[in-house]
Amino acid sequence: MLRTHAVTLQALDPDRDEARDWLVAELSQPDYNRAEPFLTRIYDWFVGLLTDLLQVVPASQSLGWLVVLGVLAAAAVAVTFGVLGRRRGSTLRAAPSGGVLEEDHLTPEDYRARAAEAAGRQDWDTVLLDSFRALTADAARRTLLDDVPALTAHEVGALLAAPFPGHAASLDRVAREFDAVRYGGRHADRGSAEAARDLDRSLSRARPALEQVR
């Protein structure tokens, strides 16, 4: 990231003003401008610190350059971790956005069969995911949901809370667990997986409150 000059360290001999100007010019590069506000405040502090240090550094200009180099290196490290951290955070926040029915040609019975098979081998992640997919596909078949392939788990839970108000809390909880398992790297336990299957069974038998459906 640092823009080094094609000269040796021994040949560098800036005075105090030049050293400060070099640092200010370096930190004005676009890479640093993308940093978080907190990091920007750190850079401002670095500039002020450098100015104070160069005022007390003796006539040794080489030592002054070493101070500049050290501050630039610290700033580069801060920018690298700051930008990567922000990108990683953005990626994690954006992750739970996929549609619930990735295989929208499957029927509710298909998903329930997969969930039953997964329960037999104690694959609780698959039980939870396919049970939520089953109730989503079943609601679509009953025309309680539109544009199903594009719906996220959160959207499914929120939309089905209207025709099934008595199950609103369970829908919200299982939708959150779906995202946590599917996108967050978490694992379902037997209790949460069986709760998702029970919710699917309950909704498949429940009579929707059609007056609540737009």
Query: What is the share, in percent, of the chain residues with pLDDT greater than 70?
Result: 52
pLDDT score of 60: 52
Are 135 and 179 in a shared domain?
Answer: yes
Q: Could you tell me if 152 and 158 are in contact, meaning their C-beta atoms sit under 8 angstroms apart?
A: no
Is residue 128 a part of any domain in this protein? yes
Are 202 and 136 in a shared domain?
Answer: yes
Instruction: Report, as an integer, the average pLDDT of 61-90.
Output: 56
Query: How many domains, in total, are found in the chain?
Result: 2
pLDDT score of 94: 43
- pLDDT-derived band at 66 (thresholds 50, 70, 90) equals low
Are 143 and 203 in a shared domain?
Answer: yes
Cα separations in angstroms, 188 against 42, 142, 153, 184, 191 = 42, 28, 16, 11, 8
pLDDT score of 104: 73
Is residue 100 a part of any domain in this protein? no
Is residue 2 a part of any domain in this protein? no
Q: Which residue has the tokens 């930008």?
A: 83
Is residue 68 a part of any domain in this protein? yes
Instruction: Report, as an integer, the average pLDDT of 27-35.
Output: 55
Task: Specify whether the backbone of 147 is left (phi greater than 0), alpha (psi in -120 to 50) or beta.
Answer: left
Is residue 114 a part of any domain in this protein? yes
- Boundary residue ending a domain (94, 125, 155): 94
- CA 130-182-162 angle, 5° bins: 65
Are 90 and 112 in a shared domain?
Answer: no
pLDDT score of 176: 97
Please classify residue 40 by burial: count the beta carbons closer than 10 Å to its beta carbon, then call 0-12 exposed, 13-18 middle and 19+ buried: middle
Are 177 and 129 in a shared domain?
Answer: yes
Is residue 54 a part of any domain in this protein? yes
Measured in whole angstroms, the distance separating CA 83 from the mean position of its chain's CA atoms is 14
Residue pLDDT, tens place only, 108-166: 999 999 999 999 999 999 999 999 999 999 999 999 998 888 899 999 999 999 999 99
Domain that holds residue 161: 108-212
- Boundary residue ending a domain (38, 65, 94): 94
Are 115 and 207 in a shared domain?
Answer: yes
Are 64 and 112 in a shared domain?
Answer: no
The two three-digit tokens of residue 98, written as one number: 């996929």
pLDDT score of 117: 97
Are 86 and 112 in a shared domain?
Answer: no
Residue pLDDT, tens place only, 155-214: 999 999 999 999 999 999 999 999 999 999 999 999 999 999 999 999 999 999 875 544
- Boundary residue ending a domain (94, 120, 139): 94
Are 114 and 86 in a shared domain?
Answer: no
Please classify residue 57 by burial: count the beta carbons closer than 10 Å to its beta carbon, then call 0-12 exposed, 13-18 middle and 19+ buried: middle
Q: Could you tell me if 96 and 154 are in contact, meaning their C-beta atoms sit under 8 angstroms apart?
A: yes
pLDDT score of 99: 84
**CA 31, CA 26: separation in Å to the nearest integer?**
10
pLDDT score of 105: 86
pLDDT score of 169: 97
Is residue 75 a part of any domain in this protein? yes
Instruction: Report, as an integer, the average pLDDT of 66-84.
Output: 57
Is residue 5 a part of any domain in this protein? no
